[in-house]
Amino acid sequence: MPDIYPITPRNRVKRLHERGRYDHESVHAILDSAMLCHIAYVIDGQPYCTPTVFWREEDHLYWHGSSASRMLRSQKPGLPVCLTVTHMDSLVLARCGFNHSVDYRSVMAYGTAAIVDDAEEKARALSAMINRFYPDRDATLRPSTAQELKATMLVGMKIEDASAKIRAKGVGDEEEDYALPIYAARIPVYQVLGATEPCPRLIPGVERPEGLAGFTEGRRLDEVMSETAKLVYPD
């Protein structure tokens, strides 16, 4: 039996439930192919939706920010959040307005976010973050200062429940509409890397590290992120 996140009232996919998945493999694959997420949280009844870089370690998600950040400060005692990742994979132009759509892969992960205060765990996780995105990079960097670590707030959450939702069928028209002389198509959308721009102030002779070998022009970011995750956190 595959590992499955519990299905609860908040994560159960109600609309188009055939698109929903709860197994760890599907959920983690979508999370691991992303660098950016959006996090919903509530302060004094007001919802906020904040974009941030995040990463996964087993069933925990981490992100960080300045100690000054409103969102993170308010999370000190632990704050319910919904962390969402979305890949838009194509535009779907159908033969009627109703069937226009997009193909996508998304995950909504629920949990209670809390600040990671332990200095050792914080230093470990921030190094892990660098290496998760850019393999072997952390050891090549100027070490973090105590002041930098203090100014960085690390937030973590255990995934309590989560669901993935995937649409990948392209054009799906009503059967009788296929006979109509109307243009319909799927237009793929990709998030890709451009050509690396080395820092203009690079010291002569400093070479591009091996760990960045995957970050070549034209590659899909979701594929690079998936590869890097598998490299850094092999099962």
Choose between 117 and 196: whose C-beta lies nearer to its own copies: 196
CA 25/CA 146 separation, integer angstroms: 37
CA 126/CA 155 separation, integer angstroms: 11
Choose between 52 and 235: whose C-beta lies nearer to its own copies: 52
Q: What's the min distance (Å) between Cβ of 68 and its own copies?
A: 5
b/e per residue 72-86 (b: at least 16 CB within 10 A): beebeeebebbbbbb
**Could you tell me the two tokens for 19?**
């698109």
CA 23/CA 166 separation, integer angstroms: 13
Choose between 126 and 156: whose C-beta lies nearer to its own copies: 126
Q: What's the min distance (Å) between Cβ of 115 and its own copies?
A: 15
**Could you tell me the two tokens for 34?**
């992303």
Q: What's the min distance (Å) between Cβ of 28 and its own copies?
A: 18
Q: What's the min distance (Å) between Cβ of 119 and its own copies?
A: 15
Choose between 117 and 172: whose C-beta lies nearer to its own copies: 172
